[in-house]
Amino acid sequence: MESKQAVNALAALAQETRLAIFRLLVQVGPSGLSVGEISADVKTSPATLSFHLKEMVHADLIEPRQDGRFIFYSANYAQMNGLLGFLTENCCAKDGVSCLPMTKGKCVPTPATKIKRRTANKP
Amino acid sequence: MESKQAVNALAALAQETRLAIFRLLVQVGPSGLSVGEISADVKTSPATLSFHLKEMVHADLIEPRQDGRFIFYSANYAQMNGLLGFLTENCCAKDGVSCLPMTKGKCVPTPATKIKRRTANKP
DNA sequence: TCCATAATTCGATAATACTCGAATTATGGA
DNA sequence: TCCATAATTCGAGTATTATCGAATTATGGA
């Protein structure tokens, strides 16, 4: 994933309603939910909901699937995992000593790393 | 982590310059970088850089540490991990069959889950 | 004490995002 | 074919965010 794509995905998640929708869909799994079902969970007008769904599709975080009169939206897990990987990429790589090995995708610095003091002359 | 905190953190990351700063600090580790050092990596005016750093501190994504005339900023790994956990929480929990067990913090649905078709009458 | 440097705050401007009523498109069933 | 329902698009008003020059605060060293 590259930076602009990541910014788009993050912006798509950085909104109360959209974040709720995304988490809902992540929990539901690949089968997804129709707009009507989603609207039962988040309180907003149809127009606003449509706007938010469009934003998320555009950011490639969710995918629409037409089924009769309904459109089912499901989470794009690949994109989500790509985003998480992008954020944690090369965690503590320039430090080398203060990080524990990545566990469960988390970046975990050692608790009490001694921070070297740097004088005014040389940052 | 709760929703509003997550939205704040995501908004703080959803901007090209701030995302670059955050990734830089994640890679540097707990010792962090001074504003001057950060400014060598991202091209923007001092005022704008200060504005962005403030946003990220306010979202609890980075932490300032004064050292003489310098202020060193470092990534808040706990907050980052909390955010990643919040996004992937209960992945596919309502589905139950289509997801592989979480590996390395990633949510991985099985490749070709058969999606059940639902008729117009009952979403 | 005085100066140079590190970094922030202020204020104004430009750009982008959110919300929703009303109108529109599309589909399945009577 | 015609109607009810599912969902989107349009347009306009409001609010939030980003940028940066100039002024300000704070620190260490001469």
Q: For the stretch A102-122, what's the b/e string if a residue is b when 16 or more beta carbons lie within 10 angstroms of its beta carbon?
A: eeebbbbbeeeeeeeeeeeee
pLDDT of B4 over the 60 cut: yes
Judged on CB neighbours under 10 Å (0-12, 13-18, 19+), B84 is: buried
On whether residue A38 sits in a domain, the answer given is yes
pLDDT of B117 over the 60 cut: no
On whether residue B19 sits in a domain, the answer given is yes
Note the strand C nucleotides within 7 A of protein beta carbons.
Answer: 5-11, 17-23, 26-29
Lowest mean pLDDT among A8-12, B3-7, B117-121: B117-121
Rounded distance between C-alpha atoms, residue A84 and residue A10, angstroms: 10
**Alpha carbon distances (Å) from A80 to A15, A35, B85:** 16, 21, 12
Per the CB < 8 A criterion, the answer to whether B25 and B73 are in contact is: yes
CATH of the domain at B27: 1.10.10.10
Give the distance from residue A117's alpha carbon to the nearest chain B alpha carbon, in angstroms: 8
Write the DSSP assignment of B49-106 as a string of letters.
HHHHHHHHHHTTSEEEEEETTEEEEEE-HHHHHHHHHHHHTTTTTTT-SSBPPPBTTB
On whether residue B28 sits in a domain, the answer given is yes
Q: A72: part of which helix (H) or strand (E)? A: strand A70-75
Chain B interface test: which of A106, A117, A122 (most B C-beta within 10 Å): A106
pLDDT in tens, A84-113: 999 999 999 998 888 888 888 899 997 655
On whether residue B118 sits in a domain, the answer given is no
On whether residue B58 sits in a domain, the answer given is yes
For residue A4, give the 3-state DSSP assignment: helix
One-letter identity of residue B39: S
User: Which residue range(s) make up the domain with B26?
Assistant: 3-80
On whether residue B66 sits in a domain, the answer given is yes
pLDDT in tens, B71-113: 999 999 999 999 999 999 999 999 888 888 888 889 999 765 5
A47: nearest nucleotide, CA–C1' criterion: C20
CB contact under 8 A, B120 and A70: yes
Q: Which two tokens stand for residue A52?
A: 């938010």
pLDDT in tens, B22-34: 999 999 999 999 9
Each residue's pLDDT expressed in tens, for chain A with a length of 123 residues? 899 999 999 999 999 999 999 999 999 999 999 999 999 999 999 999 999 999 999 999 999 999 999 999 999 999 999 999 999 999 999 988 888 888 888 999 976 555 555 543 334
B37: nearest nucleotide, CA–C1' criterion: C6
Q: Which two tokens stand for residue A75?
A: 């989470």
Rounded distance between C-alpha atoms, residue A18 and residue B90, angstroms: 17
Q: How many domains, chain B?
A: 1
**Facing residues of A70 across strands?**
A67
pLDDT in tens, B9-66: 999 999 999 999 999 999 999 999 999 999 999 999 999 999 999 999 999 999 999 9
pLDDT score of B101: 80
